[in-house]
C-alpha cells in the first residue's frame, strides 16, 4: 500500500524491523530506575502516522512502554500554552553538550537550565505547569492533555515506575534542590519532582505516541482528530528545539544521521517528526552511551534514508 508521496511505508517499516531483528538486545537497558530494568530487551516497535491519517506499524508497535523524557515535549507544549514566551525566563534554548542529568552548567548559569529537555530544564517546566495546582491536579492535567493529543482515552501512568523513580531519583533531587537554592523553582522540590516522576512514567505504545506527536508534523493541528493544539509558528519552534536538544549530547549526531526533530527517553522510545509528512515513534530498550535508544536511532536513520525525509534535503 502506498503512503505519502507514493512511498510504500508499510514495506519500509516491515523491512526496517526485519533488518534489525538480528541485532535486537543490543545496547544497555536503563537500570537506574529499577522498574525500567524489568523490560524485555528484545522488544522493538515502530509506528508511522502520516498527516493523511494512515498508520503503518511493525513489531511491538502496540505494546505500552515508559515514555520517560519524551513527556518533556508535551509538558513544554502545555507550559507554553499556559505561560507563553515567559517560560524562557526560566529555561534556555541552547543545546547543552552535557548528559541529560548533568549538574555542571547549572551553577555557572545561576540555576537557569540550558534547555527544556535536559532534566533540570524539564523540572523547571514542570514547576511552571504546577502553577496554581496541587501535584494531583497537575498530573491529571498532563494526562488529559496527552489523551487529547493522541485522541485516546486509554493512556495511563504506570504508578510502579513513578514510585521506583521517586525512591531512587537522587540526581533529580540534587538538580531540583540546586535550582530551588537559586530561587528558580516556585514550588517545594518534593511537589515538583512528584509531578515530574509521574509525567515520565506515562505508558504509551508507539502508535499512541506517534498520534500524540502528529500535531508537530502538521502545523500544530492533529489532522486525525482535528484537535487544534498550537499555532504553526509554535509547532515549528518546538520542532527546532527537538532537533537541537532532543538527544542531549547526542543531538548533533542524531541530526547528522537522521536529520529530523526527535526526542528520546530512557525507556528506549524516540518520537520523531517529519514536518508536513508524518510522526514516527520507535521503541527499543537498549540505550547507547548518551542514554538514547541504540536501535531506535538506527531505525530512524534507515527510515530517513529510505524516505528522503531529512529536513536538510532528500
Which of 266, 274, 280, 299 is in the footprint of ligand DON by CB under 6 A?
Answer: 266
Question: For the chain, what is the radius of gyration of the CA atoms?
Answer: 18
Catalytic annotation present for 170:
no
Residue 128 or residue 218: which is nearer to ligand DON going by CB?
A: 128
Which of 48, 51, 162, 200 is in the footprint of ligand DON by CB under 6 A?
Answer: 200
Residue 101 or residue 219: which is nearer to ligand DON going by CB?
A: 101
User: Is position 46 an interface residue for ligand DON (rule: CB under 6 A)?
Assistant: no
- Cβ of residue 185: shortest distance to ligand DON, in angstroms? 15
Which of 77, 96, 172, 307 is in the footprint of ligand DON by CB under 6 A?
Answer: 172
The one catalytic residue in 57, 71, 73, 248 is 248
Residue pair 122/75 in contact (Cβ under 8 Å)? The answer is yes
User: Is position 265 an interface residue for ligand DON (rule: CB under 6 A)?
Assistant: yes
Which of 264, 279, 297, 307 is in the footprint of ligand DON by CB under 6 A?
Answer: 264
Q: How many amino acids of this chain bind ligand DON (CB under 6 A)?
A: 13
List, as one string, the DSSP characters of the chain. Answer: ---GGG--HHHHHHHHHHHHGGGTT-SB---SSGGGGGS-TT--EEEEEETTS-EEEEESTTS-EE-GGGHHHHHHHHHHHHHGGGGGGTS--S---S-TT--HHHHHTTT--S-SSSHHHHHHHHHHHTTTS-HHHHHHHHHHHHHHHHT-TT-EE-HHHHHHHHHH-HHHHHHHHHHHHTT--SS-HHHHHHHHHHHHTEEE-HHHHHHHTHHHHTTTB-TTT--B-S-HHHHHHHHHHHHHHTTGGGHHHHHHHT-S-EEE-TTSEEEEEETTTEEEEEE---B-TTSSBHHHHHHHHHHHHHHT--TT--
The one catalytic residue in 51, 196, 219, 258 is 196
User: Is position 165 an interface residue for ligand DON (rule: CB under 6 A)?
Assistant: yes
Listed ranges 21-29, 87-95, 259-267, 301-309: which one lies at the site for ligand DON (CB under 6 A): 259-267
Residue 50 or residue 269: which is nearer to ligand DON going by CB?
A: 269
User: Is position 35 an interface residue for ligand DON (rule: CB under 6 A)?
Assistant: no
Residue window 83-122: x/- pattern of binding to ligand DON, with contact defined by CB under 6 A: -----------------xx-----------------x---
Question: b or e along 259-272 (b: 16 or more beta carbons within 10 Å of the residue's beta carbon)?
Answer: bbbbbbbbbbbbbb
The one catalytic residue in 161, 266, 273, 280 is 266
Catalytic annotation present for 256:
no
Residue 165 or residue 301: which is nearer to ligand DON going by CB?
A: 165
- Cβ of residue 239: shortest distance to ligand DON, in angstroms? 18
Catalytic annotation present for 248:
yes
Listed ranges 11-19, 42-50, 56-64, 258-266: which one lies at the site for ligand DON (CB under 6 A): 258-266
Q: What CA–CA distances, in Å, run from 37 to 30, 59, 67, 205? A: 6, 20, 14, 18
Residue pair 280/208 in contact (Cβ under 8 Å)? The answer is no
- Cβ of residue 128: shortest distance to ligand DON, in angstroms? 17
Catalytic residues: 69, 72, 196, 248, 266
Which residues contact ligand DON by CB under 6 A?
68-69, 100-101, 119, 165, 172, 200, 264-266, 291-292
Amino acid at each position: 500500500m502506498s503512503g505519502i508521496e507514493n512511498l510504500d511505508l508499510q514495506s519500509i517499516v516491515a523491512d526496517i524491523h526485519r533488518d534489525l531483528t538480528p541485532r535486537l538486545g543490543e545496547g544497555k537497558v536503563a537500570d537506574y530506575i529499577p522498574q525500567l530494568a524489568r523490560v524485555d530487551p528484545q522488544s522493538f516497535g515502530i509506528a508511522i502516522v502520516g498527516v493523511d491519517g494512515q498508520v503503518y506499524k511493525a513489531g511491538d508497535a502496540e505494546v505500552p512502554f515508559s515514555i520517560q523524557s519524551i513527556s518533556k515535549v508535551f509538558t513544554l507544549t502545555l507550559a507554553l500554552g499556559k505561560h507563553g514566551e515567559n517560560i524562557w525566563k526560566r529555561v534556555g534554548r541552547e543545546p547543552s553538550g552535557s548528559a541529560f542529568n548533568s549538574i555542571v552548567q547549572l551553577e555557572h548559569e545561576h540555576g537557569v537550565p540550558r534547555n527544556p529537555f535536559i532534566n533540570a530544564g524539564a523540572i523547571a517546566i514542570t514547576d511552571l505547569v504546577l502553577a496554581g495546582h496541587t501535584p494531583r491536579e497537575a498530573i491529571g492535567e498532563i494526562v488529559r492533555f496527552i489523551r487529547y493529543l493522541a485522541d485516546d482515552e486509554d493512556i495511563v501512568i504506570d504508578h510502579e515506575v513513578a514510585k521506583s523513580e521517586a525512591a531512587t531519583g537522587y540526581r533529580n533531587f540534587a538538580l531540583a534542590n540546586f535550582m530551588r537554592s537559586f530561587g528558580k523553582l516556585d514550588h517545594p522540590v518534593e511537589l515538583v519532582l512528584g509531578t515530574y516522576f509521574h509525567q515520565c512514567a506515562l505508558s504509551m505504545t508507539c502508535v499512541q505516541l506517534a498520534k500524540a506527536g502528529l500535531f508537530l508534523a502538521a502545523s500544530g493541528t492533529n489532522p486525525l482528530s482535528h484537535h487544534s493544539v498550537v499555532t504553526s509558528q509554535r509547532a515549528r519552534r518546538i520542532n527546532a528545539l527537538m532537533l537541537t536538544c532532543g538527544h542531549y549530547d547526542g543531538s548533533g549526531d542524531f541530526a547528522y544521521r537522521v536529520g529530523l526533530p526527535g526526542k528520546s527517553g530512557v525507556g528506549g522510545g524516540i518520537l520523531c517528526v517529519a514536518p508536513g509528512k508524518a510522526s514516527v515513534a520507535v521503541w527499543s530498550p537498549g540505550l547507547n552511551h548518551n542514554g538514547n535508544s541504540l536501535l531506535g536511532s538506527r531505525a530512524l536513520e534507515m527510515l530517513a534514508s529510505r524516505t528522503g525525509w531529512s529536513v536538510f534535503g532528500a
